[in-house]
């Protein structure tokens, strides 16, 4: 019997996560002797939790809200992508050392392209709500896809300003006050929510799409509920939408590849399990 390959997810809260469904489906499908479990971890417990997983010979783990930035400083090495993005969502453990990378960039772009088909991201400004770890990955993805203008809004403006300075092209990013989010949609081509708003247990995202031009695309990284208030409103008003569950699936595929050496596919049975 081969040695069991242990992986999992650290976050707070994590109980609604669909990551175990994805990873366990692929472990079974590809006949890999492995596990993927949830570790609900408070900020005070984070360092101890990481040491525990390392001591227990975990092969790797994902990191989610709110630790994608704090884990960045706890890794022993970071690949170029994690360094450029400034956030880590996937860690591989080798000889007790933590190697951080970011599979959210791939997850976001792959999902956006599949869901919106021929949508040309470069045709107009993108409005991004939020300036946490997920926003960093989304903004990096948009910049490398050639988006020329990003309007960034965050409840805590200082965080948006700091994020802008860390990106590849700070001049392409303008910071707008959080309470101006309805107006920020004028002439916009894309709207992406990267905040936790709309997620189960969080308040709703309060935004009106009245100024968003027809033909624009709307994406939400929140996937619990699958159909967030933002996505529902966007669909009712005829916008193209890219739901967050797809980003979750595609970032998970890349993480699985790092730990198990094969890029898993997305079959109908998996989609049925995560989108009941
Ligand atoms: P992640 O790493 O998954 O992006 P995060 O770094 O904790 O998680 O970021 C969460 C994002 O949701 C932040 O942009 C946060 O805004 P602040 O920077 O002001 O904290 C945003 N967010 C969370 N709760 C919010 C709320 N009630 N209103 C507005 N924004 C909120």
Q: What is the pLDDT of residues 2-37, one digit of tens each?
A: 789 999 999 999 998 999 999 999 999 999 999 999
- Ligand 1 centroid vs 244 CA: distance in angstroms? 16
CA separation for the pair 83, 79 (Å, rounded): 6
Percent of the chain with pLDDT over 90: 96
Which of 195, 199, 224 to mutate for ligand 1's pocket (most ligand atoms within 8 Å of CB)? Answer: 195
Are 185 and 191 in contact by the 8 Å Cβ rule? The answer is: yes
Residue range 154-168: mean pLDDT, rounded:
97
Q: Find all residues with CB under 8 Å of 132, minimum gap 6, and list them.
A: 65, 66, 68, 69, 87, 159, 194, 195
Q: Tell me, what's the pLDDT at 1?
A: 61
- Cα 190 to ligand 1 centre (Å): 20
- What are the start-end ranges of the H helices in 86-228? 104-116, 133-144, 157-166
Please tell me the predicted confidence (pLDDT) of residue 116. Answer: 96
Which are the catalytic amino acids?
68
Q: Ligand 1, atom 30: nearest CA belongs to which residue?
A: 155
Average pLDDT over residues 73-92: 96
Q: What confidence score (pLDDT) does residue 118 get?
A: 84
Of the two residues 60 and 275, the one the predictor is more confident about is 60
The model's pLDDT over 251-272, given as tens digits with 9 standing for 90+, comes to 999 999 999 999 999 999 999 9
Whether pLDDT at 90 is above 70: yes
* CA distances to 124, 140, 142, 165 from 146, in Å: 10, 10, 6, 18
- Which of 17, 128, 154 has the most ligand 1 atoms within 8 A of CB, as the residue to mutate? 154
**Ligand 1, CB cutoff 6 Å, lining residues:** 65-66, 68-69, 130-135, 154-156, 159, 194-197, 203
User: Ligand 1: distance of its center to the CA of 218 in Å?
Assistant: 18
Residue nearest to atom 26 of ligand 1 (CA): 197
Ligand 1 pocket test: which of 43, 62, 132, 200 has the largest number of ligand atoms within 8 Å of its C-beta?
132
What residues contact residue 119 under an 8 Å CB cut-off, 6+ apart? 112, 217, 240
């Amino acid at each position: 019997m081969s040695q069991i390959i242990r992986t999992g997810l650290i976050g707070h809260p994590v109980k609604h996560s669909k990551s175990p469904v994805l990873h366990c489906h692929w472990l079974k499908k590809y006949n890999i002797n492995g596990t993927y479990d949830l570790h609900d971890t408070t900020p005070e417990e984070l360092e101890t939790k990481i040491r525990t997983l390392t001591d227990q010979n975990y092969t790797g783990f994902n990191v989610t809200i709110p630790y994608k930035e704090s884990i960045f400083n706890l890794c022993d090495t970071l690949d170029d992508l994690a360094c450029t993005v400034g956030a880590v969502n996937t860690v591989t453990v080798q000889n007790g050392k933590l190697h951080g990378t970011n599979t959210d960039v791939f997850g976001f772009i792959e999902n956006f392209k599949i869901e919106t088909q021929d949508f040309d991201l470069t045709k107009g400004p993108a409005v991004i709500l939020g300036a946490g770890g997920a926003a960093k990955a989304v903004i990096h993805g948009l910049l490398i896809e050639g988006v020329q203008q990003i309007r960034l809004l965050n409840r805590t403006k200082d965080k948006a300003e700091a994020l802008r300075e860390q990106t590849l092209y700070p001049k392409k990013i303008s910071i707008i006050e959080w309470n101006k989010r309805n107006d920020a949609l004028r002439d916009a081509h894309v709207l992406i929510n990267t905040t936790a708003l709309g997620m189960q247990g969080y308040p709703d995202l309060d935004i009106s799409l009245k100024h968003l031009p027809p033909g624009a695309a709307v994406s939400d990284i929140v996937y619990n509920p699958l159909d967030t208030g933002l996505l529902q409103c966007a669909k009712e008003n005829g916008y193209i939408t890219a739901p967050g569950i797809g980003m979750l699936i595609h970032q998970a595929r890349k993480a699985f590849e790092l730990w198990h050496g094969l890029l898993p596919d997305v079959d109908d049975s998996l989609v049925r399990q995560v989108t009941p």
